[in-house]
Amino acid sequence: DGGITQSPKYLFRKEGQNVTLSCEQNLNHDAMYWYRQDPGQGLRLIYYSQIVNDFQKGDIAEGYSVSREKKESFPLTVTSAQKNPTAFYLCASSKGLEDGYEQYFGPGTRLTVT
């Protein structure tokens, strides 16, 4: 089955620790995205990547880092510099510029930092 997987579903960390969220897709999509969702708010774009080995900052990139070494994978690291890291993190992918802008989401990772 084609799809987007995110792991883990729930993640708990202590303040001051870096944490890496996994996102893998087997849809052969070129573009991948990371969003953050806080209660009662819409999705805010953290980083996105349109091709391997290239990525761009979104609207709220501070305190986050990403890599795109493989087409299928786009991990997100939440660093200790992120002031309010507790949130629902969503990874998405899309076919790319030539084939459509529809984005499809993974199941999400709920991160709690105390």
Partner 1 sequence: QKEVEQNSGPLSVPEGAIASLNCTYSDRGSQSFFWYRQYSGKSPELIMFIYSNGDKEDGRFTAQLNKASQYVSLLIRDSQPSDSATYLCAVNAFFGNEKLTFGTGTRLTIIP
Please say which residue, 29 or 85, places its beta carbon nearer to partner 1.
29
The amino acid that residue 9 corresponds to is K
- CB atoms under 10 Å from CB of 30, counted, come to 17
Q: Does 108 bind partner 1 (CB under 8 A)?
A: yes
Q: Retrieve residue 66's tokens.
A: 């990403």
Q: Contact with partner 1 (CB under 8 A): which of 31, 78, 87, 113? A: 31
Q: Retrieve residue 62's tokens.
A: 């501070």
Please say which residue, 16 or 42, places its beta carbon nearer to partner 1.
42
Q: Which residues pair with 39 in a beta bridge?
A: none
Binding region for partner 1 (CB under 8 A): 31, 35, 40-45, 48, 50, 58, 90, 94, 96-97, 101-108
